[in-house]
Amino acid sequence: MNWNNITVRQFQQIASLRNRKDIEEVEQIELLISIMYNIDIREVDDMPLPKFNKLGKQCGFLLTEKIPGKPPRYIRVGKRVYAMNYKPHTMKHRQYIEISQYAITPVEKMHLILASLVEPVKFGIRRKNNVKDHALYAEDMAQAKVTEVYHAMVFFCNLYSSSMRVMEPYLIRTMTETGVTESQARETFQTLINTLDGFTQPQ
């Protein structure tokens, strides 16, 4: 097993587990085995020690090691191919709004953020990101290899953070038009910026 075997959905579960400070290391390994091998936690508890140690050794690196890879041009999921859009200035208004909402919790919503960014490729031609297909894109992104998309997220979050700083007055105005106060809008905006700036390799 290595990072190339891990999907975005599995990574989201692993990331949540890595951040838990309320459980001991052995409990983390138990939960990790349950996630990675789709085994009920009660079965993990009843597992013979040699088998437990073997599985724990196979997947334990997921709790400590960094994710290899680099930002890809294309993401392949089954027979479908998607191109990444690394140009925030080409995005539509609704894509900015979607990503602004999802990016408050970027790891948990990674598949949704990616679904707002990717462009399906058919017969070698990039098609526009269609809001009607967002759920389909999101499910594909959840099934994608995390090694193919994680660094795309890191790269884009850096770009998006810089772009949002330039667009701050516009985004604040857009949020206040939805009914929130300017103070609330600025607080939400700053939280989003801090979250984007903090999206790096998990430690």
Identify the CA nearest to 182 among candidates 165, 161, 168, 197.
168
Q: What are phi and psi of 74, to 5 degrees?
A: -135, 150
> Residue 111: which H helix or E strand, with range?
helix 110-117
Q: How far apart are CA 149 and CA 159, in angstroms?
A: 15
pTM beyond cutoff 0.85: no
The confidence score (pLDDT) of residue 193 equals 73
Report which residue type is found at 199: F
The confidence score (pLDDT) of residue 106 equals 82
Give how far the C-alpha of residue 69 lies from the chain's centroid of Cα atoms, to the nearest Å: 15
DSSP 144-181: SBHHHHHHHHHHHHHHHHHHHHHTHHHHHHHHHTTT--
Report which residue type is found at 8: V
**Positions in the chain whose pLDDT score sits under 50:** 200-203
The confidence score (pLDDT) of residue 195 equals 67
Q: How far apart are CA 59 and CA 69, in angstroms?
A: 19
The confidence score (pLDDT) of residue 115 equals 93
What is the per-residue burial (b if ≥16 Cβ within 10 Å, else e) of 61-75? Answer: ebeeeebebeebeeb
Give how far the C-alpha of residue 144 lies from the chain's centroid of Cα atoms, to the nearest Å: 11
Q: How far apart are CA 88 and CA 95, in angstroms?
A: 9
Q: DSSP code of 118? A: -
Each residue of 19-49: pLDDT tens digit? Answer: 788 888 889 999 999 999 999 999 999 999 9
The confidence score (pLDDT) of residue 75 equals 93
Instruction: Quote the tokens at residue 107.
Output: 């790891």
Three-state SS at 24:
coil
Q: What is the CA radius of gyration of the chain?
A: 19
